[in-house]
Amino acid sequence: MDRILLPVDGSRWSERATRHVIALRAAGLELDVLVLNVQPGPIPGASRRSRQEVLQLNILAADRAMRAARRLLAKAGLPDSSRIAYGDPARAIVKLAQQQHCSQIVMGTRGLSALAALVLGSVAVKVVQLSPVPVTLVK
């Protein structure tokens, strides 16, 4: 069984990546899907109360970001588990893929040109550069 990490941000590109994972299942692959959303987390040096408030807001934002993907996966009969990570999105994605022994990462991309991705620092480009496992980018 392949374990796929599906990082989502609630965008239409994340929805396309989710539909790609569902298509892999429809093609006969046995999949274990781990849905991930990365949040910025608390601000260093903030008070304990402020950190707790930020974490609560992060949890709500992550839930909203993962909702559509989890709904699509459930409708397709594909169970998933979900996680929230904090910090730099690319590094958090790669770290979780390694920790959870994922065989691949499937994620949406806005389809920026190579120059735009270089200038803007695309998360997808960074994941491809850092990941020891295959990365499928869905446009």
> Which own/partner contact pairs does 118-124 have at CB distance under 8 Å and 24+ positions apart?
123/89, 123/90, 123/93
SS3 label, residue 3: strand
pLDDT at 118: 52
Q: Is 85 a member of any domain?
A: yes
* Domain range for 94: 2-38+65-138
Q: Is residue 54 part of a domain?
A: no
Answer for the pair 107, 135: CB distance below 8 angstroms, yes or no: yes
pTM of the model: 0.91
Q: Are 2 and 30 in contact (CB under 8 A)?
A: yes
Residue 116 belongs to some domain of the structure: yes
Look-up of token digits 């979900």: 82
Looking at residue 8, its pLDDT comes to 96
What CATH code is carried by the domain that includes residue 89? Answer: 3.40.50.620
Q: Which helix (H) or strand (E) holds 8?
A: none
pLDDT in the model for residue 32: 95
State how far the Cα of 1 lies from the Cα of 62, in Å rounded to an integer. Answer: 27
Q: Does some domain include residue 55?
A: no
- Asked whether residue 53 is assigned to any structural domain, the reply reads no
Q: Is residue 44 part of a domain?
A: no
Evaluate whether residue 121 is within a structural domain: yes
Strand partners, 7: 36
pLDDT for 139 = 86
Per-residue pLDDT of the chain (139 residues; tens, 9 = 90+): 899 999 999 999 999 999 999 999 999 989 999 999 999 877 777 787 888 888 899 999 999 999 999 999 999 999 899 999 999 999 999 999 999 999 999 999 875 555 545 544 588 889 999 999 999 999 8
Q: Are the C-beta atoms of 76 and 20 separated by less than 8 Å?
A: no
If one counts the domains in the chain, the total is 1
The pLDDT value recorded for residue 119 is: 46
| Inside any domain, residue 94 | yes
Residue 115: the pLDDT is 52
C-alpha–C-alpha distance, residues 34 and 20, integer Å: 14
